[in-house]
Chains A and B, each alone.
Chain A
Amino acid sequence: MAGANGIGKTSLLRMLCGLAPVESGDILWNGTSIRSQRSAFQRDLCYLGHLNALQESMTVHENLAFAAALGGFAPAPGQIPDILTRFGVGGRGEHIVRHLSQGQKRRVALSRLALSPARLWVLDEPFVAMDEAGIRMLAQLIAQHLAEGGLVVLTSHQPVEIDAFPAQILELRA
């Protein structure tokens, strides 16, 4: 999803998640309105907004375990360290989030995606604050998710190559 600043990309994403009310029309998931199947829809959904949703006084590991609990599942033993390594923040599991850099916090927030069993990812500017290697890694992760039959809705200001998958670009205009 592309468009100028302030055009309403974030608002639209929040509506898709059911966080913001829809003035007219409806949002369907698997053919049914998300309002009538909130719990089932939210089990299928992983949303990552501008905010990292990390509690600064807790460790990286505690944050991810809590995110998993909110998602309604328990991570397998060893899964969290594996994912952190994959996201380039390996060995930081026991660090307090406050002590990480902006980019590292973003990586930890994004690692929720790999942890979650959700089929639908809704990502608001996921490439912000990421270095080049991070962007490549995230593009790879998205490609893998798509290959496994997942669906991704994201906003971005920079064009990103996601291998071999047709992306539908929705350009919002005033």
Chain B
Amino acid sequence: MKLTHIKPIGLGTVMLAILRREISLALRQKGEVLTPLMFFVVIASLFPLGVGPESALLMRMAPGVLWVSALLAAMLSLQRLFASDFADGSLEQMALSSTPLTLLVVAKALSHFLLSGLPLVLMAPVLGLQFGLDGPSLGILMLTLLLGTPTLSLVGSIGAALTLGVRGAGVLLSLLILPLYIPVLIFGAGAVEAYASGLGVSGHLSLLAALLVLALFFAPFATTAALKISLE
């Protein structure tokens, strides 16, 4: 009798269900979204206080400082990407879902980007002003963050999956993932500097986009494999 009104749904709808769940959870636990963002603001604001108000120096440092701060802030929320689902058994159910786990992982990484990467992109110009960056430089900074933070979420999800259920997972996660973030950092911060010194930025942006495509293709498979190991 119960089999009569089963309506099958598509893969996209399942991914959307994950996305909706993550976002509604984040709206209920606003602290979890705001903490990394405030961290970003505080770290980036400490630099002008530390090195003094010399505007030429600040302007020169800005892209690097803002990118490193964004990197650390994005990392802060990574640990929770799978942790609570692992603890309450939801992750097992996801692994047993008829939808491939790889697609669910993509939805999870996308939700991480929307909830922690995108706020950083929107906050960056405000902080850039503190460093005396001009309008076009701010635009480039936002663009590089917009291209770079999804890569951070995707690559970070591998580390989050590998360190599931491990004690001291936070520190281990940083050690695993920060070296992998180096290319994104180099091309992200490099683009803004290249613009400031009058060189073209299209090369840097293309490389950032290429890194994103690469991560989008490989990271979900690596994360899925890592999750399966953690669940055994």
Mark A residues whose CB is within 8 Å of B. 17-21, 39-40, 42-43, 45, 47, 49-58, 62, 65-67, 69-74, 76, 79, 114, 117, 148
Count of chain A to chain B residue pairs whose CB atoms are closer than 8 Å in the complex = 90
Partner-binding segment picked from B9-17, B73-81, B173-181: B9-17
Q: Say whether A73 contacts B17, CB under 8 Å.
A: no
Q: Say whether B92 contacts A57, CB under 8 Å.
A: no
- Measured CB to CB, the closest approach of chain B to A124, in angstroms, equals 10
Q: Say whether A19 contacts B96, CB under 8 Å.
A: yes
Q: Say whether B88 contacts A56, CB under 8 Å.
A: yes
Smallest CB-CB A-B distances: 10 pairs: A51-B89, A69-B17, A53-B89, A43-B98, A76-B5, A70-B97, A72-B98, A74-B7, A117-B6, A42-B98
Q: Say whether A70 contacts B99, CB under 8 Å.
A: yes
Q: Say whether B92 contacts A47, CB under 8 Å.
A: yes
Q: Say whether B7 contacts A70, CB under 8 Å.
A: no
B206 within 8 A of A: no
Mark B residues whose CB is within 8 Å of A. 1-3, 5-9, 13-14, 17-18, 21, 24-25, 28-29, 84-85, 88-90, 92-100, 231-232
Q: Say whether B96 contacts A58, CB under 8 Å.
A: no
Chain B residues with Cβ under 8 A from A17's Cβ?
96
Q: Say whether B8 contacts A73, CB under 8 Å.
A: yes
Can you show 30 pairs from A to B with CB atoms below 8 A apart?
Answer: A19-B95, A20-B232, A40-B98, A42-B97, A43-B98, A45-B96, A47-B96, A53-B88, A53-B89, A53-B92, A53-B93, A54-B88, A55-B88, A58-B25, A65-B17, A66-B17, A66-B21, A69-B14, A70-B17, A70-B94, A72-B14, A72-B98, A73-B6, A73-B8, A73-B9, A74-B7, A74-B8, A74-B9, A114-B2, A117-B2
Give bound CA distance, A72 to B94, whole Å: 11
Q: B17, B90, B96, B97: which has the most chain A beta carbons within 10 Å?
A: B96
Please give me the residue from chain B that is nearest to A52 by CB atom: B89
Please give me the residue from chain A that is nearest to B28 by CB atom: A57
Please give me the residue from chain B that is nearest to A57 by CB atom: B28
Please give me the residue from chain A that is nearest to B25 by CB atom: A57
Q: Say whether A58 contacts B24, CB under 8 Å.
A: yes
Q: Say whether B88 contacts A72, CB under 8 Å.
A: no
Please give me the residue from chain B that is nearest to A114 by CB atom: B2
Q: Say whether B24 contacts A19, CB under 8 Å.
A: no
The residue that A51 contacts in the complex, of B17, B92, B94, B100, with Cβ under 8 A, is B92
Q: Say whether A55 contacts B231, CB under 8 Å.
A: no
Give bound CA distance, A70 to B97, whole Å: 5
Chain B residues with Cβ under 8 A from A70's Cβ?
14, 17, 93-94, 97, 99
- Measured CB to CB, the closest approach of chain B to A168, in angstroms, equals 24
Q: Say whether A52 contacts B24, CB under 8 Å.
A: no
